[in-house]
Structure 1
Amino acid sequence: MPSTPSVPHTPPWDVHRLPPAAGKTFLVTGGNAGIGYFVAEQLAGTGATVVLGSRDPARAGAAIASIGARVPGAAVRHVTLDLADPASPRACVDALGLDRLDAVVHNAGVALDHPPRRETADGHELMFATNHLGHFALTHHLAPLLAAAPGSRVVTTGSFAAKSERLDLDDLQSRHDYRPKRAYARSKLAQMLFALELDRRLRAAGSTTLSVLVHPGVSVLVHPGGALDSLTPSRPPVHVRTAGARLSRLPLRLAVQGKDAAAWPAARAVLDPAVGGGLMLGPRVFGLRGAPRVEPLWEHLADTTTAARLWAASCGLTGVEPAFR
């Protein structure tokens, strides 16, 4: 059985009193909506510069305005990023205009509920391409910026949905027996295996960059959106919650939490100096809700053979390989 990782003894992590990070720059993919929005808002509150990577400039602008209303003086900007477009990760990194980056949060993703199977313009299954391959390529292009910032972090968002899944290395693109929820779960499992394989490669290279895995704990529900939205505080126009919806969903707080709290593991993974590479952070209470803590790795996440084969396949499908010096 995998061992339970631990972090050095430090004062309890306070999700409401994050450490200052002025002078640092963080990129959050999909930071214009959902959990990613709250990751960006929380990081902006530390004094750091936060860059939202998303496809839609209008939605990003609304998110930036909302964060500015909550965090006076927030330094937030947008770069265009479409993870389903193989040319976009490189263009995004060029548009950053940075010589160093302190952390990237791989948060953006797509989940399809119903057939038919959809492909990107270059023929990859949409969820696998967006959730995994796009972030794999983005990490490659960000590597020089991350390597220039000592102690930088690559934070990858996994999912509870991946806990019961296994990869089919002979059908990573779900061309056979396509089932949308399974394809989504496998794409998230691929992300999680990538994060841990990246950690092994970073350590082997002697890099100071850390690869940390998080999961928000919410995707254990089959259709979490409505419930989670009703538990999520309003951030108009990004998210508006009615009083009726809030009251009707109060009993759910015993089992799940809103998207603001679901962002806590990623914020801690970026900011906590006690968090090391190769760890997984998730909600404290049954992995579903509560303050973030370090969790034992699920047994199949320790499968280094599958992770290495996935890495090799991802290199072939993207034409790039993340490498740090």
Structure 2
Amino acid sequence: MSSTSSTQRLPRAEGRVFLITGGNAGIGYFVAEQLSTAGATVVLGSRDPARAEVAAASIRARVTGAQVRAVLLDLADLSSLGTAVESLDVECLDAVVHNAGVALDDPPRRETVDGHELMFGTNHLGHFALTQWLMPLLSAAPAARIVTMGSFAAKSEQLDLDDLQSRKDYRPKRTYGRSKLAQMHFGLELDRRLRAVGSTVASVLVHPGGALDGLTPSRPPVHVRTTGARLRATPAALLVQGKHAGAWPAVRAVLDPAVRGGQLWGPRVFSLRGMPQREPVWNHLADTSVATRLWDASCDLTGVDLGAIPG
């Protein structure tokens, strides 16, 4: 199955502009590559300009006539986000894919320049604050989408609203899962608030299922799959997939006019692999009281007031 097979039956996107955070590597790169095949202008948001330019060059080499460029975007530095959004230099934005993420495997606990735990601060608070800056551009588009890349790592976690920064008990994998859960709660709460004010913008959740490097086609120098990695990953291919396929739910959520705000999209086969489909929102994400408290805490921690969402 080719990396563009999920987009072949989806509408063309000439004249539309999409921002992918963390679009220089991993799933974000393939989201950007696939959206480029639909004719859109794709902007790669990355904290590493050199890697972003390499990724943009890779997309141009694979996609004839690709309209792709990069902007400096550091979600771990909240004071930089306004400048990053200005550098988009567009009058409207048709979609943003909140994909960028930090995942640490080992202690010690690290912090952003703003003093927030690095994974929670980047993955959740950075995207929360970025959304406020992007809202005027999204509202200026006919029917913009905010697509949040969730993770299975969030499915077995619960937020500790009294210790969102993991100060008391820091376990990297759990803190990562909770940062993704916070993102997903935010995506749903954002859509509820957008609907309440009659906004044209929709907020959608997606997740990539199980996406392994060893099952991902090479895109040198962005990603090089060794023969050893491919062979080691082959037995897992019955259950999981590569990052090119992990990108499909996000691409669908951006392009498919039938997708609605507040939905969750993931892979069809056991939610782990295959073409994207809508799936029920996970039970623990339905707790709106948790989402509301997280929203208020996020406003306090970022100094951002997303309460006045433009319609």
Give TM-score scaled by structure 2 length: 0.96
Question: Once superposed, which parts of structure 1, at least 4 consecutive aligned residues long, lie more than 6 Å away?
Answer: none
Assess, with a 3 A threshold, how the Cα gap between structure 1 residues 20 and 118 changes in structure 2: closer, same or farther. same
Map of 1:161 onto structure 2:
153
Paired with 1:49 and 1:14, the residues of 2 have a C-alpha distance of: 19
Cα drift, residue 14 of structure 1: 5.6
Q: CA offsets, 1:74-133, max 9 Å, x none? A: 000011000000112211111111110000000000001111110112210000000000
Map of 1:209 onto structure 2:
201
1:280 equivalent among 251, 259, 264 = 264
CA contact (8 A) 2:20 2:99 kept: yes
**Letter of the aligned partner of 2:296 in structure 1?**
A
**Letter of the aligned partner of 2:160 in structure 1?**
D
**Letter of the aligned partner of 1:39 in structure 2?**
V
Map of 2:34 onto structure 1:
42
Q: Is 2:310 aligned against 1:324?
A: yes
**Letter of the aligned partner of 1:263 in structure 2?**
A
Map of 2:243 onto structure 1:
259
Paired with 1:89 and 1:266, the residues of 2 have a C-alpha distance of: 23
Count of matched residue pairs: 305
Paired with 1:61 and 1:78, the residues of 2 have a C-alpha distance of: 6
Cα drift, residue 40 of structure 1: 0.2
The 5-angstrom pairing of residues 99-248 of structure 1 reads: 99-218=91-210, 228-248=212-232
Assess, with a 3 A threshold, how the Cα gap between structure 1 residues 68 and 14 changes in structure 2: closer, same or farther. closer
Give 3-state SS (helix, strand or coil) of 1:203's partner: helix
**Letter of the aligned partner of 1:305 in structure 2?**
S
Map of 2:6 onto structure 1:
15
**Letter of the aligned partner of 1:126 in structure 2?**
L
Map of 2:90 onto structure 1:
98
Cα drift, residue 259 of structure 1: 0.4
**Letter of the aligned partner of 1:189 in structure 2?**
L
**Letter of the aligned partner of 2:202 in structure 1?**
L
Q: CA offsets, 1:175-232, max 9 Å, x none? A: 00111111000000000000000000000010010000001112xxxxx7xxx11110
Paired with 1:127 and 1:45, the residues of 2 have a C-alpha distance of: 31
Q: Is 2:306 aligned against 1:314?
A: no
Give TM-score scaled by structure 1 length: 0.92
Paired with 1:216 and 1:142, the residues of 2 have a C-alpha distance of: 24
Paired with 1:293 and 1:16, the residues of 2 have a C-alpha distance of: 13
Cα drift, residue 16 of structure 1: 4.6
Assess, with a 3 A threshold, how the Cα gap between structure 1 residues 248 and 122 changes in structure 2: closer, same or farther. closer
1:86 equivalent among 52, 75, 78 = 78
Give 3-state SS (helix, strand or coil) of 2:285's partner: helix
Give 3-state SS (helix, strand or coil) of 1:87's partner: helix
Paired with 1:197 and 1:248, the residues of 2 have a C-alpha distance of: 40
Cα drift, residue 243 of structure 1: 3.2
Give 3-state SS (helix, strand or coil) of 2:97's partner: strand
Paired with 2:50 and 2:113, the residues of 1 have a C-alpha distance of: 23
Paired with 2:226 and 2:100, the residues of 1 have a C-alpha distance of: 26
Give 3-state SS (helix, strand or coil) of 1:137's partner: helix
Paired with 1:20 and 1:36, the residues of 2 have a C-alpha distance of: 20
CA contact (8 A) 2:206 2:253 kept: yes
Task: With a CA cutoff of 8 Å and minimum separation of 6, indicate the structure with the bigger relative contact order.
Answer: 1
Give 3-state SS (helix, strand or coil) of 1:284's partner: strand
Q: CA offsets, 1:25-82, max 9 Å, x none? A: 0000000000000000000000000000001111011101110111011000011000
Cα drift, residue 324 of structure 1: 2.5
Q: Is 2:48 aligned against 1:64?
A: no
Paired with 1:165 and 1:248, the residues of 2 have a C-alpha distance of: 29
**Letter of the aligned partner of 2:164 in structure 1?**
L
Paired with 2:30 and 2:305, the residues of 1 have a C-alpha distance of: 30
**Letter of the aligned partner of 2:104 in structure 1?**
L
Paired with 2:155 and 2:213, the residues of 1 have a C-alpha distance of: 23
Cα drift, residue 240 of structure 1: 1.0
Cα drift, residue 248 of structure 1: 3.5
Structure 1 stretches lacking a partner, 5+ long = 1-12, 219-223
Structure 2 stretches lacking a partner, 5+ long = none
The 5-angstrom pairing of residues 291-306 of structure 1 reads: 291-306=275-290
